[in-house]
Amino acid sequence: MNITDLEIVVLIGLSILVGGAISSKTKVAEPIVLLAIGASLGFVPGIGDIALPPSVVLYLFLPALLYWESLNTSFREIRANSRAISMLATGLVLLTAAVVAVVAHTFGVSWTYSIVIGAILAPTDATAVASVAGRMPRRMLAILRGESLINDGTALVLYSVAVAAILADKEINGGEAVLLFIGSYIGGALIGAAVALLVLCVRRKIGNPLLTNSLSVLTPFLAFLPAQYLGISGVIAVVTCGLVLSQLDSKNVSATARIQVSSFWALTAHLLNGALFVLVGLQLHTIWDFSMSDAAMVLEFGLSCTVAVIGVRWVWIHTAPYLRGLFSNVNDRTTRRVRGRQRTPLAWAGFRGAVSLAAALALPIVTTSGKALPERPILIAVTFIVIVLTLLIQGLTMPMIVRRAQLEEDPAESDERILASTVPLETALDSLSEVSDRLGLPLETQANMRADYQKRLGRIRSQNPGTIPGRAADTSDDAVSEQKEAVLQETQLQLALIPVKRAALMRLRSQHKIDDAVLRSEETNIDIEEIRLAGFAQEP
């Protein structure tokens, strides 16, 4: 039975739908359920022949997923935890690659290929972590997201250096590798920032929300592809582009466009992530094209690499803070350090996923001179083993690890959410008279709006959600007409105050009083209010 491309897409879509339903019922992490569904489908005749081209992962899945993650990552938290993130994204990646390379070499793999498998297995997959991590404090989630956004770039640069050496049939040049690392990071960041600024300039000229969102869909690829073609880090370019846009985007996008694009990317990221895990499962049965003795060796190799990546991360997380503390001032050590039990979720969050899968599948089959590469099937099989085992072992136990860690809530987050809700309203109240007079609205409208905003403030401060009492309705024709006119005037005033509230919210972020995630949440509420009011104002 031959299966068409359309049938593959429908099959993957149905798998994601069924897997999501099973996950919500059983409370088992969705990536694990999707992996099991894919593995089961892989043994169905015809379906099991589906192959995942590495270029699809590298050039479609990876830029899109990284872009969405970078848009939803707090730049303030990344900056506040930059030292911890940089140590995880560079130091831990290089150490993991080195340890895995040593393990691979003990199985008879040459040093160049050993470095390749080390680079393949070094980066973590934050999307998988976020989907099974449960409730984590925002600082810990920010560290995990920041790490995964940057460690992909570190690992892929190391990977490209090693693969280039394999293709040229020569040893790795250390000095050349260091220069490539530096150039990839700097070049990728410059390209990402340039694309972000270009996108902002274009958006200022576009008024149509559909065109604005079409540009948003293209943005990660506009950053990724030029960097890849120039031989520098497309990952760093996409991440930089997303972070820059997350800081400057609100001033150049309408409420309608922002709501549309947020919904689009949320759905797209969910589908791409789900499709990846289904496709990994579909191909699990194809990696065992070995004799029994070779299969036993590959399984032992994969288990050893799994122990290595889990063990190195565990040791690093529980020792690096103390080593770093030797070079920190007293205030930094007392305010940033956490207890060992609370670091355990961070140490356990080392799932491997999309980047490792794509890098393994992208391994060349022959060198430029036509020499075959017999190690390729073994390295791909080992990568699949590590991805599956880290997802199963760490994914199934992660909720328990998080519960046992007894992580404390971040009290500042609740305070920031209240601040983000109250300050825009207070600013609107202060500007209400001026805006109302400019619009030529009656004093009664101004008084009604002031009472309305004051009730909202009181409700937020008392943490007592409820409805705001409305005025008693008069059903006579004249009264209805007057009430409609009054409501339209109030709507006009509320719409005029929307930019005031949005500007106040942006000032809170620029003054570092609220987090990016808090800003996005409250900005969404303001956007929804603007769209609702605009729709009401246009009614006949």
Q: Note the pLDDT tens digit of each residue in 16-29.
A: 999 989 988 887 77
* Coil, strand or helix at 527: helix
On the question of pLDDT at 327 being above 70, the answer is: no
Asked if residue 242 lies in contact with residue 66, where contact means CB atoms within 8 angstroms, the answer is: yes
User: Of 11-15, 153-157, 461-465, which gets the smallest average pLDDT?
Assistant: 461-465
Span 43-69, average pLDDT: 77
* pLDDT surpassing 90 at residue 153: no
Burial of 51 (0-12, 13-18, 19+ CB in 10 A): exposed
Instruction: Collect all residues with Cβ–Cβ distance below 8 Å to 172 and sequence separation of at least 6.
Output: 112, 115, 161, 162, 165
Six-digit token string for 197:
């600024």
Question: Across the chain, what does the average pLDDT equal?
Answer: 80
Alpha-carbon distance of 534 to 525, in angstroms, equals: 14
For residue 501, is pLDDT > 80? Answer: yes
Q: Poorest-confidence range of 11-25, 100-114, 460-474, 498-512?
A: 460-474
Q: Which pLDDT value is given to residue 306? A: 96
Alpha-helix runs per DSSP H in 326-394: 330-336, 340-348, 354-361, 376-389
- Answering whether pTM is above 0.85, one says no
Better-predicted residue by pLDDT, 98 or 30: 98
The pLDDT assigned to 262 comes to: 86
| 196 pLDDT above the threshold of 80 | yes
pLDDT at 468 over 70: no
Say what the pLDDT of residue 476 is: 42
Confidence of residue 224 (pLDDT cuts 50, 70, 90): very high
| CA-closest candidate to residue 163, choices 373, 403, 378, 473 | 373
- Quick one: DSSP state of residue 252? T
Nearest Cα residue to 212 out of 268, 154, 256, 182: 256
What is the number of alpha carbons within 13 Å of residue 155 lying toward its C-beta? 32
**CA–CA gap between residue 144 and residue 476 (Å, rounded):** 61
Q: Where are the beta strands (DSSP E) in 327-394?
A: none
Q: At 194, is the pLDDT very low, low, confident or very high (cuts 50, 70, 90)?
A: very high
Taking residues 343-362, report their average pLDDT. 83
Is the predicted pLDDT of residue 303 greater than 90, yes or no?
yes
Single out the residue of 130, 250, 275 nearest to residue 200, CA to CA. 250
Helix, strand or coil for residue 109? coil
CA distance 113 to 379: 9
| 62: pLDDT strictly greater than 60 | yes
Quickly state the pLDDT bin for 49 (edges 50, 70, 90). low
Q: Is the pLDDT at 65 greater than 70, yes or no?
A: yes
DSSP 321-336: HHHHHTTS-HHHHHHH
**DSSP letter, residue 47:** G
CA atoms within 13 A on the CB side of 234: 24
Question: Residue 368 has what pLDDT?
Answer: 65
The larger pLDDT score, comparing residue 281 to residue 481, is at 281
- In this prediction, residues 454-472 reach a mean pLDDT of 63
* Domain architecture of the chain: domains with CATH: 52-407 (1.20.1530.20), 412-465+477-537 (no CATH)
User: pLDDT exceeding 90 applies to what percent of the chain?
Assistant: 15
Scanning 440-515, the segments in alpha helix (DSSP H) are 443-461, 477-510
Q: Which of 49-63, 124-138, 220-234 has the lowest mean pLDDT?
A: 124-138
Say yes or no to pLDDT of 466 above 90.
Answer: no
Mean pLDDT of the region 400-406: 80
pLDDT at 263 over 60: yes
Position 18 scores a pLDDT of 93
Say what the pLDDT of residue 474 is.
42
Give the position of tokens 């489908």.
41
Tokens 């707090």 belong to 74
Pick the residue with more confidence: 52 or 99? 99
Pairwise CA distance, residues 526 & 420, whole Å:
11
d(CA 490, CA 482): 12
**Residue 250: which pLDDT band, with cuts at 50, 70 and 90?**
low
At CA 225, angle to CA 156 and CA 355, rounded to 5? 30
Q: What is the band of 335 on the pLDDT scale with cuts at 50, 70, 90?
A: very low
More confident residue, 382 or 334: 382
Instruction: List the single range of 159-163, 291-295, 453-457, 495-499 with lowest mean pLDDT.
Output: 291-295
Instruction: Please answer whether residues 212 and 253 qualify as being in contact, where contact means their C-beta atoms are separated by less than 8 angstroms.
Output: yes
Sign, CA dihedral 217-223-226-227, equals negative
Q: Are 25 and 48 in contact (CB under 8 A)?
A: no
Q: Give the contacts of 342 (CB within 8 A, at least 6 positions apart).
A: 405, 406, 407, 408
pLDDT given at position 293? 61
Q: Residue 483's pLDDT is what? A: 62
CA 89 to each of CA 122, 144, 154, 197, 402: distance values in angstroms, whole numbers, following the listed order: 10, 10, 7, 26, 22
pLDDT of residue 479: 42
SS3 letters for 390-435? HHHHHHHHHHHHHHHHCCCCCHHHHHHHHHHHHHHHHHHHHHHHHH
Residue count of the chain = 540
329 has a pLDDT exceeding 60:
no
pLDDT for position 87:
87
Q: Region of 36 please: left (phi>0), alpha (psi -120 to 50) or beta.
A: alpha
pLDDT given at position 158: 85
